[in-house]
Chains A and B, each alone.
Chain A
Amino acid sequence: MAIELKDIENIAHLARLRLDAAEKAEALGSINNILSMIDEMRALDTSGVEPLAHAFEASQRLREDVVTETDQRAALLALAPNAAEGLFLVPKVLE
């Protein structure tokens, strides 16, 4: 299932990646090579096989519903590229 340039543009948008024309062309070629390798899977009949999401098929462990985290707001905000008054700053989203 080869993909086209418009598919690359759609995938890049979904993944929130800005690609220039050269990068799109490179992605088209290399991703089609990867997909043709992946397509080897199609040769195998897997009807009736249950998908395996996780090696142990373990169920999610639950813990007591109590607060375990300490307040790290200042330390975490200090890592932000732009923060003020306890908030992460981004470009204006509402006109």
Chain B
Amino acid sequence: MADLLDQGIASLAKSLARKEFSSVELTGAYLSRIAAHNPALNAYVTVTAEQALAQAAAADTARTKGTAGPWAGVPFAHKDIFCTHGVRTACGSRMLDNFIAPYDATVVERMRDAGLVMLGKTNMDEFAMGSSNETSWYGPVKNPWNTDLVPGGSSGGSAAAVAAHLCPAATATDTGGSIRQPASFCGLTGIKPTYGRVSRWGMIAFASSLDQAGVLTRSAEDAAILLQTMAGFDPRDSTSVDMPVPDYLAGLGQSLRGLRIGIPKQHFAQGLNPEVEQLIRSALAEFERQGATLKEVSLDNSHLSVAAYYVIAPAEASANLSRYDGVRYGYRCDKPVDLEDLYKRSRAEGFGAEVKRRIMVGTYALSAGFYDAYYIKAQKIRRLIKNDFDRAFAEVDVIMGPTSPHTAFPLGSKSKDKDPVAMYLEDIYTIAVNLAGLPGLSIPAGLLNGLPIGLQIVGPNFSEDRLLNVAHQFQLATDWHTRTPGVAAASRGDR
């Protein structure tokens, strides 16, 4: 079982089907590895060992009976933003530290129905607000490639867990880059589907017009498998899109001959580390070798995406987070003197500094007298950004560029800075994709000084099948996605 923990979902499922090992053995191996390595990484905030072993035993029984689905018994982790019935769902916040979810999110329900085994819940920036995983009430997550560095955020716990082989794959969410940027920093494949592709029901809301669930995996093939189990119409989410889900796995064999790749000149401009640019251009050359063509495109308004986002997302957050009032669930302050004191102190003590900051920015942007100057103005720019993509996709099939301008940065290097804007600019290449609702994916495309860098691939609405195939074809010809940090490589010697 030495290299058991290095395998992807497809390979694990094959071995489970052949009875080379049981899901209980596999799950037990992961639980031991989590116990050994999680203290140094802080990737999991909750490990559900008992439930995991019970789910694994049920999957083994189903396999013996022949009633199991293809992925039954494969372990994975959930970002702690998804409600899990009977299990604490804290969303990285003191506000929800005592919240035991009374129901399962649709994503949780679907993955359980597929027989997948939940190992636990992963750490994250508080209410998914952050790009480094340093805003979590449970403390920062360390990057397995170098524990002095951040794993990215907000899905940093999921990314670190997958990169360190503390699970083969994990769910994640992306409001402005929270799947793709951690994928880039941790050397993973991460997909943010089209808005509406995956149900948001039971996924704790940050900015409802932007939030979307996806996955972090070690290959495009695994991403295809997991996205298949999550995606599809859900009547309980009023923005869920009622459209058939293609067979992602079956769509992975397409040649890239004739694929038209758009290169947005704004994503190769000032601010991009020149060595990152060189690696991205080498990756683009690989696509050319496979028969794709490159064409420069212009996303004229992309320089305003961070500004528009930091009006829209905080505005939606200020409304969404008004539900945390210390009355119905979550944190309540001690000895409130009156109702207003109960509200104000419960929220002041339950929320961390970054969450309060965004609630205040959003409250200001929506307040009387400023609504047009901020909120409406940002929505107009949102349309212009979407129009830029529409124009580009009239000429190209996908858009590619760097996911992040640099590799993972040191813990504390941006959070201790009193200017939060430095952290906000982390998502400069990813945010516009959320504003336009488009699907985006990041894959490992090289190593710079021993640290991974990500290539972002963006497609038109509901082109997840195309993005996954493009990523898979790249991964067939390259081995960047198979590179692992020392802590993961050490798993071979652990056992």
Classify the secondary structure of A's interface with B.
loop
Interface with A: B24-32, B149-157, B379-387, which one?
Answer: B379-387
Contacts of B381 in A (CB 8 A): 41, 44, 46
Q: Give the top 3 A-B pairs by smallest Cβ distance, nearest first.
A: A55-B437, A51-B379, A81-B332
Interface band, chain B = 35 or more
Q: How many whole Å from B113's CB to the nearest CB in chain A?
A: 19
Q: Does B44 contact A (CB under 8 A)?
A: no
Which residues from B are CB-within-8-Å of A51? 376, 379-380, 382-383
Task: Report whether B382 and A52 are in contact in the complex, using a CB–CB cutoff of 8 Å.
Answer: yes
Interface majority SS on B: helix, strand, loop or mixed? helix
A-B contact pairs, 27 of them (CB 8 A): A1-B373, A15-B356, A15-B359, A15-B360, A17-B347, A17-B359, A19-B356, A23-B353, A23-B356, A31-B357, A31-B361, A34-B310, A38-B307, A40-B304, A41-B304, A44-B384, A51-B380, A52-B383, A53-B209, A56-B195, A56-B241, A56-B437, A76-B329, A81-B327, A81-B330, A88-B327, A92-B338
Within 8 A of A (CB), among B334-348: 336-345, 347-348
Asked if residues B239 and A91 are in contact (CB atoms below 8 Å), the reply is no
Interface size on A, residues (CB 8 A): 53
Q: Contacts of A50 on B, CB cut-off 8 Å?
A: 380, 383
Q: Mark A65-95, 1 if CB is under 8 A from B, else 0.
A: 0000000100110011110000010111100
| A residues in contact (CB < 8 Å) with B | 1, 3, 7-8, 11-12, 14-19, 23, 26-27, 29-31, 33-35, 37-42, 44, 46, 49-56, 58, 60-61, 63, 72, 75-76, 79-82, 88, 90-93
Asked, given contacts A41-B381, A91-B336, whether A31 binds B209 with beta carbons under 8 Å apart, the answer is: no
Judge whether B299 is part of the interface by a CB distance below 8 angstroms: no
Question: Which residues from chain A contact B420 at a C-beta distance below 8 Å?
Answer: 30, 33-34
Question: Given A11, A72, A91, which contacts B364 in the complex, CB threshold below 8 Å?
Answer: A11
Assembly CA distance A72 to B329 (angstroms): 14
Contact across chains for B102 and A91 when beta carbons are under 8 A apart: no
Cα distance, A56 to B383, chains bound together (Å): 11
